[in-house]
């Protein structure tokens, strides 16, 4: 997941590289964040999802959920088709497709689970090759935003230090320019000299605008191409060391160049691995698949039941299910979470937790969910069946 400003920057990069101006440039910038309008559609989904059947709920999620339909390749083509019908402008249509597609691609290469080929397929996947706060993806696209803002200030003469009225430098203000003050004549000359140098940079950018921004886009595309390939070699290397097949898509970046991998070690435990490009396996942990508090002979039966129920739900936020089973006063509680949850700091990858409470007398159950550290909320049973 890349921050919104960087997505906007990518749209601006494209508009400069394609030579678009005015409303078309603004249109491309807005289209670069269009896929994230699903924040609003997801709000609609949460409002109506409890009143429909289980199957209808799932289909609505594919259409309205966050990073679902609006992040698919089909949606990119659909937007481009509508733009073409409206404008018949080949360059703007091509740029519109790229703006929407690159948004989805950048999210896809970080941590977002998506269904890129929906509606042809509901299978989800993600490359998860680049840390979401990666400086290349998040800072490089900000360059055109910075340059655009600086040009605007320059054109408005915001940086003029020659006039005593510039920046409100009047003697009655707090920014007096009397001799010996902080804003002395010498200081103003120094700032004007630096700003003249910056003006030279703007001149270079203006003369080489298309080439510069096209080069930045190329760097981004190379980065999102090389990183997944590099991750492939790392995962293959770790798989060979461990003597098992480690999932590529379930190996998550936890910092630049570092990943958290996992696999089923045996019938009772997962093995978690912290790996990096430089040192291979740095740490390893073992996590129980089922933890039982007290004497509950049928604990595994309840864990299996929760697993079956969860397999029917969307989204599938948990890749390595860990179950904590307890019982009190005839009620069996099963807490379902991802085995990797306690081992990732500063990024909410796996912190969705479900709490199932079963009544032994009649077999009925209730489910609550906590997500991203928020308070628990009760889920409707159509979430699972």
In this prediction, residue 109 has a pLDDT band, given cuts at 50, 70 and 90, of very high
pLDDT of residue 348: 65
119 phi and psi angles, rounded to 5 deg: -90, 5
Q: Which long-range contacts (CB under 8 A, 24 or more apart) does 47-53 make?
A: 49/380, 49/382, 49/383, 50/380, 50/382, 52/382, 53/382
In this prediction, residue 85 has a pLDDT band, given cuts at 50, 70 and 90, of very high
**Coil, strand, or helix at residue 125?**
strand
Q: Which residue has the higher pLDDT, 308 or 177?
A: 308
**pLDDT, tens digit (0-9, with 9 covering 90-100), for 134-173:** 988 888 888 888 777 776 666 666 555 454 444 444 444 4
Quote the distance between the C-alpha of residue 49 and its chain's center.
Answer: 24
Strands (DSSP E) contained in the chain are 252-255, 258-264, 269-276, 280-288, 290-292, 321-328, 331-338, 353-359, 365-370, 377-379
What integer is the mean pLDDT of 213-236?
Answer: 93
- Cβ burial of 183 (10 Å; 0-12, 13-18, 19+) is middle
Residue among 286, 288, 258 nearest 274 (CA): 258
**Residue 131 contacts residue 252 (beta carbons within 8 Å):** no
C-alpha separations of 346 from 104, 321, 341 in Å:
23, 21, 11
C-alpha separations of 175 from 154, 160, 165, 182 in Å:
21, 15, 10, 8
| Cis previous bond, 315, omega within 30 | yes
Helix (H) or strand (E) holding 372: none
| Cis previous bond, 300, omega within 30 | no
Residue among 309, 289, 373, 298 nearest 332 (CA): 298
**pLDDT, tens digit (0-9, with 9 covering 90-100), for 62-83:** 999 999 999 999 999 999 999 9
Percent of the chain with pLDDT over 70: 83
> Which pTM value belongs to this model?
0.84
Percent of the chain with pLDDT over 90: 65
How many CA atoms within 13 Å lie on the side-chain side of 240? 6
**pLDDT, tens digit (0-9, with 9 covering 90-100), for 110-135:** 877 899 999 999 999 889 999 988 98
State the Cα–Cα distance between residues 35 and 74, nearest whole angstrom: 12
**Residue 151 contacts residue 202 (beta carbons within 8 Å):** yes
Mean pLDDT of the chain, nearest integer: 86
């Amino acid at each position: 997941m890349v921050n919104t400003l960087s997505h906007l920057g990518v749209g601006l990069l494209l508009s400069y590289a394609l030579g678009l101006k005015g409303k078309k440039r603004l249109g491309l910038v807005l289209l670069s964040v269009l896929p994230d309008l699903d924040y609003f559609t997801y709000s609609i989904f949460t409002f109506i999802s409890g009143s429909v059947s289980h199957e209808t709920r799932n289909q609505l999620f594919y259409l309205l959920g966050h990073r679902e339909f609006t992040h698919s390749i089909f949606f990119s083509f659909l937007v481009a088709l509508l733009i073409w019908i409206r404008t018949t402008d080949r360059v703007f249509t091509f740029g519109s497709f790229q703006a929407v597609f690159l948004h989805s691609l950048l999210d896809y290469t970080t941590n977002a689970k998506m269904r890129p080929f929906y509606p042809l397929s509901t299978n989800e996947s993600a490359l998860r090759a680049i840390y979401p706060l990666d400086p290349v993806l998040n800072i490089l696209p900000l360059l055109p935003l910075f340059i655009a803002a600086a040009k605007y200030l320059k054109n408005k003469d915001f940086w003029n230090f020659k006039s005593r009225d510039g920046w409100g430098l009047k003697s009655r203000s707090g920014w007096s320019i009397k001799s010996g003050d902080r804003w002395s004549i010498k200081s103003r000359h120094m700032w004007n000299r630096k700003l003249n140098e910056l003006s030279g940079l703007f001149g270079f950018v203006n003369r080489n605008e298309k080439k510069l921004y096209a080069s930045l886009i190329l760097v981004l595309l190379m980065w999102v191409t090389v990183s997944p390939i590099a991750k492939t070699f790392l995962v293959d290397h770790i798989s060979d060391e461990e003597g098992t097949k480690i999932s590529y898509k379930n190996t998550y970046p936890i910092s630049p160049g570092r990943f958290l991998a996992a696999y089923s070690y045996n019938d009772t435990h997962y093995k978690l691995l912290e790996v990096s490009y430089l040192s291979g396996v740095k740490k390893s942990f073992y996590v129980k698949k089922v933890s039982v508090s007290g004497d509950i002979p049928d604990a595994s039966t309840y864990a299996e039941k929760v697993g079956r129920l969860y397999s029917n739900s969307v989204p599938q936020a948990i890749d390595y299910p860990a179950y904590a089973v307890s019982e009190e006063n005839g009620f069996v509680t099963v807490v379902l979470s991802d085995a990797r949850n306690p081992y990732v700091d500063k990024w909410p990858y796996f912190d969705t937790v479900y709490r199932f409470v079963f009544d032994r007398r009649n077999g009925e159950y209730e489910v609550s969910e906590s997500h991203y550290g928020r308070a628990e909320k009760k889920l409707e049973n159509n979430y699972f069946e």
